Structure 1
Amino acid sequence: MENTKNEHERTKYNQLIVQKEEQLDELTNNKRKITEAIQNLEEDLHRGFQTVAMLNDEAARFGNTENHQLQRYNEEQERAFHQLLRESNEQIVLAYKKETKKMDEEREMLYKKRSDIPWD
């Protein structure tokens, strides 16, 4: 009877460990997706600002005197967006590391509890 109870407890901990590992996998996949989305956004913004720069250059050839000022403003905006995206990515990485560490500790605790169950 005691053996069956212990076996049931080990099975319960095995299921909890598998759930924790699935959560870790999901967390990793979500981090990858978010990181890719930020990278794609950064590339799209860069292409957009390059297009604006080309349009400003073309306008300058036709005598637009405000071109230099607009170009400087656009460059500042591009740097600001780039900085915001970099900071966002860093925050995501830190949050991911923190959550991963927490989940790893929880999983290790489950392993320990499972190993404390007697086999007899």
Structure 2
Amino acid sequence: MNDQERVKYNRLILENEELTNELNSGKRKIEESIYNLEEDFHRGFQELSSLNDENSRFGGSKTSWLQRNNEEQERAFRQLLRESNEQIALAYKKETKKMDEEREMLYKKRSDIPWD
């Protein structure tokens, strides 16, 4: 009977560890996606800046206003991405802590099972 209880807790501990690994893998994928998105935004805004510079050489009158507007938008996007990344990191940290506490509880319950 006690052996079956230990096996049950071993299985629960392994499931918890697998979920934690999946959570960490998901976090890395999301962080990579956010990084790639930020890089794409940066390249897009650089291209926009180049187009504005080219436009100004051909007599575009609103170029400086457009350039400032584009720079403000880029800053706003970067800020939103940073905030999103921070929120995601906080959520993952909270969930990881919860899973660690659950795993510790499972270890404790398993260790409380007497050996026959």
Give the counterpart letter for 2:20 in structure 1: L
1:39-91 CA distance string (max 9 Å, x none):
00000000000000000000000000100000000000000000000000000
State TM-score, norm by structure 2: 1.00
Residue in structure 1 matching 2:111, options 110, 115, 118: 115
Rounded to whole Å, the distance in 2 between the matches of 1:12 and 1:64 is: 73
- In the alignment, structure 1 segments of 5+ residues that lack a partner are none
Please report how far the alpha carbon of residue 17 of structure 1 lies from its aligned counterpart in structure 2 after TM superposition.
0.1
Note if 1:96 corresponds to 2:92. yes
Rounded to whole Å, the distance in 2 between the matches of 1:47 and 1:67 is: 19
Note if 1:34 corresponds to 2:18. no
Note if 1:84 corresponds to 2:80. yes
Rounded to whole Å, the distance in 2 between the matches of 1:17 and 1:92 is: 25
What does residue 53 of structure 1 align with? Answer: 49
Percent of paired sites with the same residue: 72
Cα-Cα RMSD = 0.3
Rounded to whole Å, the distance in 2 between the matches of 1:66 and 1:97 is: 46
- In the alignment, structure 2 segments of 5+ residues that lack a partner are none
Q: Which runs of 4+ in 1 moved over 4 A?
A: none
Give the counterpart letter for 1:50 in structure 2: Q
Give the counterpart letter for 1:41 in structure 2: L
State TM-score, norm by structure 1: 0.96
